[in-house]
């Protein structure tokens, strides 16, 4: 027997342990090389562990167990690579297939795959859901849930390491910074007209849509150049001035809020920013984000408008000195050239560390963002 140990991989110097949140395979499955095996939740990221070799896997740790970096959580018998094709097919399913399996209780091993090498696709699972289940098919057992007494009005579960860390950082940010929020509103008419005019051409050329976030990222970069105090941070009794423009974009995931960083936004085109945001947001939601993706940002943009938020006071992403909150776009009556007109308006909120940033600088920064969005030609001219 040739046994290979499956160990928790190093995640960075600051991470010493995590919770093995979920197994993607069952004990005794035949797995393939590079196949996702488990999800590991730490206080910073959620990542996947993969198989370094094909073979029969034996699980040593139950889902929900806290494990140290380097701990052995399973073994793979590389000599046992045959005899369980159905299990292998199920175990090597894509994230979309595994998600459908959980939602529909359809075992991928019972579905005829039409993908490469007989692999089960999302379409195969959807088609299987429309057919009567075969009598011999046995749905996989659902993960055990904490018992809740009949009629109970509460349930209790342990916070994940990531949620605990988010809670600690949010409280620390409020305790350590002299945080203040200033507001403004922006007329989105010009940006919306530009998107409507060029969206089809943009999609044909790039393969993805032009969103609002790239406009705000560019507006923020221009404003940071004008107000360098906001592109700085406090380190003890020193002020560290940043001369680069790595902007964090808050992404909501099932595990909590993450802020992947878009590097060198000042050198990227609008398409480059949109692509970068789409890439990191997708990896964040799939649990494939890395520590390197989350580190080094100088400023953060968070968009509560995607959930319908009208107004909020975002919390600074320490050690940064400010964060811009975007909100829902709503038609509102506004005064324009002595007339009341209806315009698509958005409230902007800039929370900043008053220890470093004065009110005049914060207000000027927000006005610069507003001007760039209401007159997008400024983004091209950097004025």
Catalytic residue, chosen from 77, 246, 354, 375, is 354
Catalytic residue, chosen from 29, 266, 358, 375, is 358
**Residue 214 pairs with which residues in a beta bridge?**
none
Q: How far apart are CA 252 and CA 355, in angstroms?
A: 29
Query: Which of 291, 335, 37, 48 is closest to 185 using CA atoms?
Result: 335
CB 273 within 8 A of CB 261: no
Q: By three-state DSSP, how is residue 343 classified?
A: strand
- Within the chain, strands assigned E span 3-7, 17-23, 30-31, 36-41, 46-50, 55-59, 65-68, 72-77, 179-187, 232-235, 238-241, 247-249, 251-253, 256-258, 261-262, 299-303, 322-326, 330-336, 339-353
354 in active site: yes
CB atoms within 10 A of CB 268: 20
Question: For the chain, first and last CA: distance in Å?
Answer: 69
DSSP string spanning 275-337? HHHHHHHHHHHTT---HHHHS--SEEEEEGGGGT-----PPP-TTSSEEEEE---EEEEEEET
In degrees and rounded to multiples of 5, residue 284 shows phi and psi of: -65, -45
- Nearest-5° Cα angle at 194, 190 to 198: 175
358 in active site: yes
What are the strands of the beta sheet with 36-41, ordered from one edge? 46-50, 36-41, 17-23, 65-68
CB atoms within 10 A of CB 105: 14
Catalytic positions = 354, 358
């Amino acid at each position: 027997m040739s046994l290979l140990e499956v160990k928790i991989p190093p995640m960075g110097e600051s991470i010493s342990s995590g919770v093995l949140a979920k197994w993607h395979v069952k004990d005794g499955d035949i797995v393939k090389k590079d196949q996702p095996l488990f999800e590991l939740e730490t206080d910073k990221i959620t990542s996947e562990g993969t198989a370094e070799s094909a073979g029969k896997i034996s699980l040593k740790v139950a889902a929900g167990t806290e494990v140290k970096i380097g701990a052995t959580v399973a073994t793979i018998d590389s000599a046992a690579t045959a005899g369980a094709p159905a299990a292998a097919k199920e175990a090597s399913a894509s994230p979309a297939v595994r998600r459908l399996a959980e939602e529909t209780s359809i075992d991928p091993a019972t579905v005829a795959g039409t993908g490469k090498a007989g692999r089960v696709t999302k379409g195969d699972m959807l088609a299987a859901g429309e057919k009567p289940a075969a009598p011999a098919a046995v749905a996989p057992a659902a993960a055990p849930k904490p018992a809740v007494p009949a009629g109970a009005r509460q349930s209790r579960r342990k916070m994940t390491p990531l949620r605990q860390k988010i809670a600690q950082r949010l409280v620390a940010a409020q305790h350590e910074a002299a945080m203040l929020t200033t507001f403004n509103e922006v007329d989105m008419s010009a940006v919306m007209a530009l998107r409507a005019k060029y969206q089809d051409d943009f999609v044909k050329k790039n393969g993805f849509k032009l969103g609002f976030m790239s406009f705000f990222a560019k507006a923020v970069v221009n404003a940071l150049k004008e107000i360098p105090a906001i592109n700085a941070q406090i380190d003890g009794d020193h002020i560290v001035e940043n001369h680069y423009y790595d902007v964090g974009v808050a992404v909501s995931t099932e595990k909590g809020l993450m802020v992947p960083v878009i590097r060198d936004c000042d050198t990227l085109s609008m398409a480059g920013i949109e692509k970068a945001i789409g890439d990191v947001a997708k990896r964040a939601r799939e649990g494939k984000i890395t520590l390197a993706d989350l580190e080094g940002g100088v400023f953060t943009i968070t968009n509560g408008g995607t959930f319908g938020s009208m107004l909020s006071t975002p919390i600074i992403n320490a050690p940064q000195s400010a964060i811009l909150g975007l909100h829902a776009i709503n038609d509102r009556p506004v005064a324009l050239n002595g007339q009341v007109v209806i315009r698509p308006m958005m409230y902007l909120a800039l929370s900043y560390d008053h220890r470093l940033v004065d009110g005049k600088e914060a207000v000027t920064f927000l006005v610069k963002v507003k001007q760039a969005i209401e007159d997008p030609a400024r983004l091209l001219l950097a004025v």
